[in-house]
């Protein structure tokens, strides 16, 4: 029998033989290498990578302020890393979490940090600063804190990151006071969605509610340091000032809630009453229905109450009021199974120093605010740190609906707000 080899078959056979020879040679060379000695530099490179990884996870926040792109990148990286400052000095689990909503008021933020430094037992807390404005000055104030653990988180939908598009003010958005018919003729983006009073959204007024709701989600759902934490988070703002016995008074209030008001939802450590009443009310608390205009400062709540509020998330996000506290008042009276109940300090342990803000931006006088605070502290210092608290029960507040303030009619705000629970 004779074999007939075609050119195509010969070529294929040659290639197959070549591949087989290369494979055998490679296997022989690898088997001849010493098995107990890795190639030079491999172990060292692995150790360097591991060291670099540890260093990156345990190094302070790095924030680039140059461009919008750099700031967005910094926001997402730092929210993922969640570096805890001073963790090596304060290694026990936090007994209390204090969450500060920070905008662009560095002078007032300095006053707050000063008050925190003077607060008794502050080393037992974790401070979380939630920023919606990013500047080197504000960042350095927070990063200068050495008296307790500190975490900075960053609102990723800040107007600063979206200056010419939603959730910022898009140039194609409808002017605030244009009529709906005019808006439709003009063809502006949100022509179909004015608020209850016929006005169109103003980004500067919607941000605070967005930030508050995002912050609530992020603190309870995403902060790694709080996994398994069952205590309270107290929510304050950058223009608040804590009285020195704030933490001591909080602990007594928490104990009293446990024994005398187990159905209370919120601890309110602040109010807006006049300080001269302090000496008569220094050790007094009251239990009553939560009122947005009175109990929206120094609010302490647990994760259980957070979940209770989340049951009305859709209502929070669609209710036409740009104020988070008035929206929460609406949930309390119209959505929750029963109104929110509060145990509140009658002598406020949280002062409001801000004389300017969302509606007043040109009358900021932090020096005058500082002097006022010092005067108050001098007048109340003899009445701080009471040994026991005296409680009185007031009638629950009637759950009648309030008049909404508007400013939250745009469907884009509703949608973004609802998505915070999904993408943070």
- Helices 303-310, 203-221: axis angle to 10 degrees equals 130
**Homologous superfamily (CATH) for 68-161+203-355+364-421:** Spore Coat Polysaccharide Biosynthesis Protein SpsA; Chain A (3.90.550.10)
Mean of the per-residue pLDDT values for the chain? 87
d(CA 218, CA 154) in angstroms, rounded, equals 10
Residues at the annotated binding site for Mn(2+)?
239, 352
Calculate helix-pair angle for 203-221, 324-334, nearest 10 degrees: 60
Would you state the pLDDT for residue 15? 45
Instruction: With cut-offs at 50, 70 and 90, classify the pLDDT of residue 40.
Output: very low
Q: Comparing 267 with 31, which gets the higher pLDDT?
A: 267
Continuous H helices in 179-311? 180-186, 203-221, 246-260, 278-281, 303-310
User: CA 73, CA 292: separation in Å to the nearest integer?
Assistant: 36
pLDDT band at 53 (very low <50, low <70, confident <90, very high): very low
| Torsion angles phi and psi, residue 357, rounded to 5 | 180, -135
Query: Using CA of residue 180, residue 184, residue 187, residue 193, what is the dihedral sign?
Result: positive
Query: Which tokens in the block code for residue 208?
Result: 């605070």
The larger pLDDT score, comparing residue 207 to residue 273, is at 207
> Concatenated DSSP letters for 57-124?
HTS------SSHHHHHHHHHHHHHH--EETTTT--SPPSEEEEEEE-S-HHHHHHHHHHHHTSTTGGG
Q: Per-residue pLDDT for 37 more than 50?
A: no
Comparing CA positions, the residue from 273, 249, 247, 250 lying closest to residue 351 is 273
Q: If pLDDT is split at 50, 70 and 90, which confidence band does 207 have?
A: very high
* Lowest mean pLDDT segment, chosen from 39-53, 77-91, 225-239, 267-281: 39-53
* Predicted pLDDT at 395: 72
Q: Where are the domains of the chain?
A: 68-161+203-355+364-421
Exposure string for 108-126, b = 16+ CB within 10 A, e = fewer? bbbbbbebbeebeebbbbb
pTM for this prediction: 0.84
pLDDT in tens, 104-158: 999 999 999 999 999 999 999 999 999 999 999 999 999 999 999 999 999 999 9
* 387-405 per-position pLDDT tens digit: 999 999 887 666 566 789 9
What local confidence, expressed as pLDDT, does residue 361 receive?
Answer: 55
CA dist 68 → 71, 152, 160 (Å): 5, 19, 8
Q: What is the mean pLDDT of residues 220-241?
A: 97
Q: What are phi and psi of 344, to 5 degrees?
A: -125, 140
H or E element in which residue 236 lies: strand 233-237
The region that residue 121 occupies, defined by phi over 0 for left and psi between -120 and 50 for alpha, beta otherwise, is left
Q: Is 187 left (phi over 0), alpha (psi -120 to 50) or beta?
A: left
Residues making up the binding site: 101-105, 132, 207-211, 239, 352
| Confidence (pLDDT) at 38 | 39
**Would you say 328 and 292 are in contact if contact means Cβ atoms under 8 Å apart?**
yes
pLDDT at position 60: 72
Three-state SS for 256?
A: helix
- Share of residues in the chain with pLDDT > 90 (%): 76
Beta bridge partners of 417: none
The pLDDT value recorded for residue 360 is 53
Phi, psi of 71 (to 5 degrees): -65, -40
DSSP state of 170: -
Bind-site residues for substrate? 101-105, 132, 207-211
For residue 298, the model assigns a pLDDT of 97
Q: In the prediction, which pLDDT does 35 show? A: 41
Q: What is the pLDDT of residues 299-354, one digit of tens each?
A: 999 999 999 999 999 999 999 999 999 999 999 999 999 999 999 999 999 999 97
- Per-residue tokens: 10: 């010969």
Instruction: Find how far residue 10's CA is from the centre of its chain.
Output: 72
Which range among 29-33, 190-194, 216-220 shows the weakest confidence by mean pLDDT? 29-33
141 or 37, which is more confident? 141
């Amino acid at each position: 029998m004779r074999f007939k080899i075609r050119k195509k078959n010969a070529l294929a056979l040659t290639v197959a033989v070549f591949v087989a020879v290369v494979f055998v040679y490679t296997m022989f060379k690898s088997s001849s290498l010493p098995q107990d000695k890795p190639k030079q530099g491999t172990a060292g490179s692995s150790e360097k990578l591991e060291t670099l990884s540890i260093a990156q996870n345990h190094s302070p926040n790095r924030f680039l302020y140059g461009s919008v792109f750099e700031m967005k990148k910094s926001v997402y990286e730092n929210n993922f890393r969640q570096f805890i400052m001073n963790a090596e000095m304060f290694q026990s689990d936090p007994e209390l979490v204090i969450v500060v909503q920070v905008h662009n008021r560095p002078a007032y933020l300095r006053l707050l940090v000063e008050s925190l430094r003077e607060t008794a037992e502050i080393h037992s807390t974790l401070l979380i600063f939630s920023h919606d404005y990013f500047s080197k000055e504000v960042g350095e104030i927070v990063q200068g804190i050495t008296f307790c653990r500190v975490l900075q988180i960053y609102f990723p939908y800040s107007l600063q990151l979206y200056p010419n598009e939603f959730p910022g003010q898009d140039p194609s958005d409808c002017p605030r006071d244009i009529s709906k018919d005019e808006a439709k003729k003009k063809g502006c983006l949100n022509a179909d969605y004015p608020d209850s009073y016929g006005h169109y959204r103003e980004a500067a007024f919607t941000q605070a509610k967005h930030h508050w709701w995002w912050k609530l989600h992020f603190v309870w759902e995403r902060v790694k340091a709080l996994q398994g934490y069952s205590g309270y988070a107290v929510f304050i703002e950058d223009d608040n000032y804590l009285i020195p016995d704030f933490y001591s008074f909080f602990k007594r209030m928490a104990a009293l809630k446990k024994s005398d008001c187990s159905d209370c939802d919120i601890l309110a450590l602040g109010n807006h009453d006049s300080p001269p009443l302090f000496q008569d009310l220094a050790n007094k608390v009251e239990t009553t229905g939560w009122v947005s205009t009175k109990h929206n400062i120094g609010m302490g709540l647990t994760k259980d109450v957070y979940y209770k509020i989340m049951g009305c998330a859709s209502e929070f996000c669609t209710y036409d009021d740009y104020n988070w506290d008035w929206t929460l008042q609406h949930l309390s009276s119209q959505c929750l199974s029963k109104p929110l109940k509060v145990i509140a300090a009658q002598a406020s342990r949280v002062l409001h120093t801000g004389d300017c803000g969302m509606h007043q931006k040109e009358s900021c006088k932090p020096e005058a605010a500082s002097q006022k605070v010092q005067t108050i502290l001098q007048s109340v210092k003899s009445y701080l740190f009471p040994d026991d608290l005296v409680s009185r029960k007031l009638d629950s507040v009637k759950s009648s609906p309030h008049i909404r303030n508007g400013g939250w009619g745009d469907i884009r705000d509703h949608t973004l707000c609802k998505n915070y629970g999904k993408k943070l």
